Amino acid sequence: MALLMIMIGGYRKRQYVSPAVLASIVLAIMLVGATGTKAAPKEIFGIFERFSSFAATEFSAILGVYLFFQI
């Protein structure tokens, strides 16, 4: 839900487009990870699971650095 709010606010105010684009990419990666865990065989199950979990963590880190240098 937070990714959607960042996307809506970022695309609405043209000043914050880069966080909105990053949120869109992260949401797409998380969706690929979620669908991949259902579709992939058990041998490579962990790869798609990591897409979901690491995408959110990396977005939080990037957003923190972005906000640190914006203020």
Q: What is the rounded distance in angstroms from the CA atom of residue 61 to the CA atom of residue 70?
A: 14
pLDDT along the chain (71 residues), means of 10: 91 89 94 86 84 89 89 58
What pLDDT, on the 0 to 100 scale, is given for residue 71? 58
What pLDDT, on the 0 to 100 scale, is given for residue 48? 85
Q: What is the dihedral of CA 21, 50, 60, 17, to 10 degrees?
A: 0
What pLDDT, on the 0 to 100 scale, is given for residue 53? 87
Q: What is the rounded distance in angstroms from the CA atom of residue 67 to the CA atom of residue 18?
A: 12
pLDDT of 48-58, one tens digit each? 888 888 998 99
Q: What is the rounded distance in angstroms from the CA atom of residue 42 to the CA atom of residue 21?
A: 32
